Every structure is written in C-alpha cells, then in structure tokens.
Structure 1
Amino acid sequence: MPIPSLKDQFAALIAAPSVSCTQAHWDQTNRPVIDLLAGWLGDLGFSCEVQEVTPGKFNLLASFGSGPGGLVLAGHSDTVPFDAELWTAEPLQLREADDRWYGLGVCDMKGFFALIIEAVLPLLDQPFRQPLLILATCDEESSMSGARALADAGRPLGRAAVIGEPTGLRPVRLHKGIMMEGIEIQGQSGHSSNPAYGHSALEAMHDVMSELMTLRR
C-alpha cells in the first residue's frame, strides 16, 4: 500500500485523538495513533512490536535492520487535554496558514513521526550497518507509564537517540532531566476537648511547604 504524503500523514495523526491525563474523563487510548504508525512502518519493511502497557495504552517499537547498537528516533504518541472552545480552528483537523501547519500535536509531537518517515524513505533501499529503531511511547504527558514499561522490560535500545520533542525548534545536545519525590504525612486523631491528644497532618504539611518554598528560593 502506498505511504500517504507527508501532509496526509500529519493530518491522519492529528485526527486520531490520543489525550493522556491523570483525570479519567479526559484520558483516551492511543491505539489509533499506534495502528497508523505500525501500518505505515510495516509497509516500509520495519519490524513492528506493539507493547500493551495498560488497557488502552500502547508503545510501538519499530526496527529496521538488526544487530547491536543503532540509532533510536524516539517520541510520544499522546497529547495534553484540550478545550476546543479556546482554539481558533478545529484542533483535530490539520490547518495550513502562513506557511505553517496547525493542529493538536503538530509539534508536540505526533508530527515527528511523519518527519521520520519522510527522512528515511530514500534510505531504505540501502544496507544498514546498524539498526534503526523508531519508538513511540504512551502517556508521556501524564504518568510516563510507557517509558517506564519499556525500561522495566529491559529491552536493549540503540547506542544513540534523537528525541523529537521540540526545544525552540533547534537541536539540543543534552536536555534537563526530571526527578519526582513524594512526601506523605500521617497525623494522629485527637479530640476538640484536648487537641494535645492529636497531631495535625495539615499543620505538619504547612511546615513542609514552608521548607520547600525556602529551598526553592
């Protein structure tokens, strides 16, 4: 089957909603995006593996060539939630204006996968010395469960990676990381007749927040 044009790929990816959110009423499956990419890449000769992370959430790992090392082109398949009323046009429909394409996920970051396909098309009739891997993860915008599942699976990936997340639309050699910590405070029940019998978790958290704000400053 012929691969759609670059613009048609963009349009199809944007039209496939794949919102990820910690709030269940916004959250959606990313399967339509994964199916589109797996279909196109499979037709180009890539070996496509779909990993189910949780019900309705999937990673795609597509590889061309074999052996150790190689290059990974990585991105995520989900978008943030959206309010169509705040858009000047339909967010799930590709729109062209002022020599630009607009739509939910054009830059961040469904469009990266269409750009990958456009870039590799002229190269696939040549022998690859090392494999090329294309990775599309789920839930980057919320829980990062896709990346975690991939790490837990222990799959060896390439020697180098290009991540298509835009940073002012300029190449960046390295990027900042992120570390998350949680603080849990357990109080003790008391009684209004003698508050000294209890320990307020809210008051303790107030102290924690003050210390965190001091640390931030």
Structure 2
Amino acid sequence: MLTQFCCLRLETTAKIIGWLGSFVTIVVVIICAELLRNARALVGTLTRRGYHFDDPEGAGTVLIIILAVSIVVLFINAFANAGLVFGTIKKYHKLILPWLIITALGTVLSLVALIIYGFYSAIFGVVFITYLWIAMYSLYSKIKTENEQRSFKRRARSIAGNLRKKYIKYCIYTVYMYKYICIFSFIHVITVIICIYKMTLPHTNRFCH
C-alpha cells in the first residue's frame, strides 16, 4: 500500500482529484447538454460542411442517444468525485468506494480499447490512472482500518461500561444482602441469649406452705 502520491499526502491527492474531477465533469455536462439541445442542427451543419451521412435523421437520433447516455455517466462520475472528497474529509471510507469502482471500470475499458484499436500512445495515461487508483485504494484501506479501530474501541468502552454498571448493581445487592443477614443474625443471637437466660432462672414453687 502507498503512503504518498507523487510526494503528496493521500488525503491531499484525493481532495485535488475529487474537486478537479467534479469541476471538469460539470463543464463537460454543460457542453453535452448544449449539444443535446441542438443535436439535429449539429448533424445538419456537418452535412452542409461536407460530412456525408446515409441517414441524417438516424444520425441525429444516434447522436442524441450517445449524448444522453454520456450525460448520465458524467453525473455518476461527478457524484463519485464528490464522494471521494467528502469521504476523505469526513473519514468515511464507503463514500470513496464508488470512485474506486468507476475508475477501475474506466481503466479496464481504456486498456481494452488500447489493445483493440492500437492506441499505444495512451499507455502512459493508463499507467498514471492505475497508479492513482492504487493510491486512492490505499487511502480507502487506511480510513477503513481507522474506522474499524475506532468502532472496536467504542464497543470495548460500551462493554466495559455495561460490566461496570452490572458490578455496581452486584455490589449494591451484596451490601443489602449482608445487611439483612446481619440483622437476622443479631435477632437470632438475642433469641438464643433470652432462651439461655430463661433456662438458668431458679425454679420457684407456686404453692405456699
């Protein structure tokens, strides 16, 4: 596991990547939304500029579908980036998990596209993203471990508190039992003394001569 990313603390890296990724994603969403609003006009403009489409109407529909799916994916990515930031700030490792999953899927798809289409110039980007993913996974594991340790300590304190309460109740119960035993023993001793005293009294004759 890594402890730094390019001489930066993992927490600092996560905040930078999260905020930067959120900003870029929002900008791209705005651009895609504008293109989606004018998708058919864009196809018409491309046709007038010399691009040939066998079915311009169908090309417009395909472009609308692609842009709509892209916007949905970008929104998911924006939430993942926000989760990376707030998960780091709030020390809540589960918020970091969506970013790890989405980035892992994106990296795998990029690697497949690189192999299929021969985009070998993009290999450095894939290596960088893989390194970044390992760094963020290290941060995820670190925060998760810290949370588990804090949770264990809280449970231990809770158990200790319950045991202390039970011990106090037991002590109080023992004191009351000891008090009642002492009272009973005292009464028993008094009773025995009275009986012995009566037995030692001289027998007096009830009849007078």
Task: Settle same-fold status: TM greater than 0.5.
Answer: no
TM-score of the superposition, structure 1-length normalised? 0.23
- Please tell me whether Structure 1 or Structure 2 has the larger radius of gyration of its CA atoms: 2
Kindly indicate which of the two structures has a greater share of residues assigned to strand.
1
Instruction: Report the TM-score, using the length of structure 2 for normalisation.
Output: 0.24
Higher helix share: 2
